[in-house]
Chains A and B, each alone.
Chain A
Amino acid sequence: MKKFIQTIEDACKDVKYSEILYQYKRNLLDEMNDRACDVRQAGLRDEGVIEDLILSEYSDIRGDFDRYYAAEKRRKKEALEHKLLLIGTPLLIVLSVAIYIIQGILFDSWAGNWLIIVGTVFAMCILCMMAGVRKIMRLKKIFHPIARLLTAGSVMLVAVFIFLLCGVTIGWSATWPIVPGGVAALLIGDLIFAFLTRQKFAMINTFVYLPAIFTMLYIILAAFNIVSWGRGWALIFLGIALDAVIGICILLNNAKYKYKQEVEDVWKEN
């Protein structure tokens, strides 16, 4: 045990004392002692060998501490953020309701002011969802689809808010193209997320999403009379054509990495 303490102290001697440092050293020593118990139970009796064996498993204590320190800092920061979110969310919602009432009374105008409350609720929801995304992204890839759903949900909430804002300010009849716009934004957002985080099947997502995005684009442009409803559908084919171009590019790129298989020759020959 003395050797463990000495090794830990030596490795961390240039680090200024802090609660995190103490906690790290304490945990590490406990871990080493647990490991020593394990190998003693396995039948190892030579204490010198036990010490050397355990210490060989901790070859980079200093580097490990740096990682522990960074993780602890991040954990504390996130804990603070969570507390703020937990306390701040109901407070902000109450505040937004108060602003809504005060503004309504002061200016005697209630129509449309409810957007203050809706906007605040949406903003809080998006913040919570983003905090969830950050946490999920540190988990195994199998959980990443949940993060993708939360990201898509956030994009959708922004689109819904814009829709409501436009509906209140410029009238509801002209705002409906924001809905397909929101769908397109959701798909684009998901694609960006998939590529940035190197998700499996991101390319397959691209092939599926592109025609859908171009369909939404067609609806939006036609709604604003930029393209005609009659001919604008060609945009959908543009999406499919873009898919084909990307597919061909991938195939051409992959062909560069094709290796002539000698194995095949042996089989053919015989």
Chain B
Amino acid sequence: MERKLNAELWDKMHYLFRDFNDRMVHVELNYDFEIDVDALKTVLICFFEKAPVLHSRFVDNHFSTHWEVMPYNINDVVTVAYPDDVPAAVEEFLTQYIPPESHLQMKAAVFFKDGKSTICIVENHMCMDGGDLKYFVNALCENYNAYVNEHKSPIALRTGSRSYEEVYSSFSPTETRMAKNLYKNVCAKDDHSFPLTNNSISDVSFIARRKIDEERFMKIKAVGKKHGATINDMLVTAYFYSLYELAGYNPYDSVTISCAIDLRRHIKDTSEMGITNHTAFMQCNIPERGRDIFQTLNYVVRSVNKFKNDKFMGLYGLPLLKFGYSILPHTASEEVIKIGYSNPLLAMSNIGILKADKLALSGHEPTDAFMTGAVKYKPYVLLSATSYKNVVTLSMCVRGNEQDKKIVNDFFDLMEKNLDVLIGDTAE
């Protein structure tokens, strides 16, 4: 019998983002031993059964949308290969696109070389965001270990509601009502963009990365503390400052970067929730570049703190979106929402810390781990940041050409340079 799942609000929103990005979220984990592929497949089947949205196809019949659960075979999910050039194989695998109409919404690959393994996972953002993918990967490792070591069935994955309304679940009735009355369009209205080349049909997806070593990471942390700033604030500051330099914006121009925020901060207990999206954006806005990077940092801290002090941070606009999708057939709703929605040209997503102990398989911690967001279509860009063992990986996924790759790498050079300036403050 045909099994259908509800298309939740964020599923529809990410579907709407098809004009701006490829909606894929990427994970790469490197291990210094050969993992047990059969065990990994067993865990993945159990997880796919626990989260059927991962083996469903998205149905848009113009009037309404839903997920239709489809049969699958794990061999279609997991690719096992022994490539000579692992980084190239990883890049090729990670930059693939899974259409929402596909019967599978997640794919994994295991690459073996010289007794080492690399696990890559690509999934459709419509199913879950970076926050839940991080949980998913942690649970995958935990269940793998329990299965391999104790032969415990790998079925410990959260199941439950995928509704956006879960963000209200920890609120009092009065707070819920207040939050549900936040009919406000909080889209970024800023024309400043990343200086990439024009779109071309020969553009291909690529993931540009840059690592910030442990020593610098610790210094960033220390300087941030001194200025009342988080690591995220420091990175956003360097992002802003580097952009002014790279794109040649007028220093007196006000610029906005949309920063992803995890709405799970509003939920006290997530154990009864299914894997889903709970990410919104806050507009981090600076009035001008400032005379130096420290003034930029002040602007950033001020802007971010205003949001942090807001009890309903990130919940603005949700009732408006819900209303938009409720009153009209799906296609008409999309058109109406597109009128009010403007996708941010500049965005940042700090996925956060990837914990080595949680990602360990059979007692082996990953030698490196990394996660990043979707491949954005020009002129939109998203800077992702993850940290693993105190090493920060900055990444930008772009559909572009060699020139764009160079521009992004120049941007990373500027980021590093500006972070060094910030760090220099500690030495003074």
Contact = CB atoms under 8 A, between A and B. Distances in A.
Interface stretch (B25-33, B178-186, B365-373): B178-186
B45 A42 contact: yes
Contacts of A38: 71
A261 to B, nearest CB: 6
Interface string A43-59: 11110110011001100
A42 B42 CA distance: 10
A266 B283 CA distance: 9
Contacts of A266: 283, 285, 303, 306-307
Contacts of A23: none
Given A49-B46, A263-B184, A42 B309 contact: no
B178 A259 contact: yes
A35 B311 CA distance: 44
A32 B228 CA distance: 56
A254 B74 CA distance: 52
Contacts of B73: 41-43
B283 to A, nearest CB: 7
Interface in B148-191: 151, 153-155, 174, 177-179, 181-182, 184, 186
A43 B77 CA distance: 11
Contacts of A259: 178-179, 181-182, 311-312
B316 A263 contact: yes
A231 interface: no
Contact of A261 (B46, B182, B254): B182
A258 B181 contact: yes
A267 interface: yes
Interface in A1-60: 38-39, 41-46, 48-49, 52-53, 56-57
B306 A265 contact: yes
B310 interface: yes
Given A262-B309, A266-B285, A43 B155 contact: no
B138 to A, nearest CB: 19
Contacts of A56: 50, 153, 155
Nearest to A258: B181
Contact of B46 (A44, A262, A264, A267): A44
B287 interface: yes
Contact of A41 (B71, B174, B186): B71
B41 A254 contact: no
A49 B153 contact: yes
A254 B181 CA distance: 8
Contact of A43 (B45, B182, B307): B45
A39 B186 contact: no
Contacts of B155: 49, 52-53, 56
Contacts of B283: 263, 266-267
B309 A49 contact: no
Nearest to B55: A42
Contact of B41 (A41, A43, A48, A57): A43
A169 interface: no
A107 interface: no
A46 B178 contact: no
A217 B52 CA distance: 57
Contact of A262 (B71, B153, B179, B310): B310
B271 interface: no
B287 A270 contact: yes
Nearest to A254: B181
A44 B74 contact: yes
A257 B168 CA distance: 15
Contacts of B174: 257
Contacts of B287: 269-270
A52 B42 CA distance: 12
Interface in A230-270: 254, 257-259, 261-267, 269-270
Contacts of B254: 270
A266 B319 CA distance: 21
B188 to A, nearest CB: 10
B403 interface: no
Interface in A88-140: none
A53 B49 contact: yes
B10 interface: no
Contacts of A269: 287
Interface string B301-328: 0010011011110001000000000000
A17 B287 CA distance: 75
Contacts of B311: 259
Contacts of B74: 42-44
Interface string B47-80: 0111000010000000000000001111100000
Contact of B42 (A41, A44, A258, A264): A44
A258 B183 CA distance: 10
B300 to A, nearest CB: 12
Nearest to A264: B184
A43 B285 CA distance: 50
A107 to B, nearest CB: 61
B153 A52 contact: yes
A267 B285 contact: yes
A258 B178 contact: yes
Chain B CB within 10 A, most for which of A46, A52, A257, A266: A266
Given A49-B42, A259-B311, A266-B285, A42 B182 contact: no
Nearest to A262: B310
A138 B393 CA distance: 52
Chain B CB within 10 A, most for which of A52, A56, A269: A56
Contacts of B186: 263
Nearest to A266: B306
B303 A49 contact: no
A213 to B, nearest CB: 27
Given A44-B42, A53-B49, A257-B174, 11 more contacts: A42-B45, A42-B74, A43-B45, A43-B75, A257-B178, A258-B178, A259-B179, A263-B306, A266-B306, A267-B283, A269-B287
21 contacts: A41-B73, A42-B45, A42-B49, A42-B55, A42-B71, A43-B41, A48-B151, A49-B42, A49-B147, A53-B50, A56-B50, A56-B153, A259-B312, A263-B283, A263-B306, A263-B310, A265-B306, A266-B306, A267-B283, A270-B254, A270-B286
Interface of A: 38-39, 41-46, 48-49, 52-53, 56-57, 254, 257-259, 261-267, 269-270
Shortest Cβ-Cβ A-B pairs, 7 listed: A43-B74, A52-B153, A262-B310, A257-B177, A259-B178, A44-B45, A49-B153
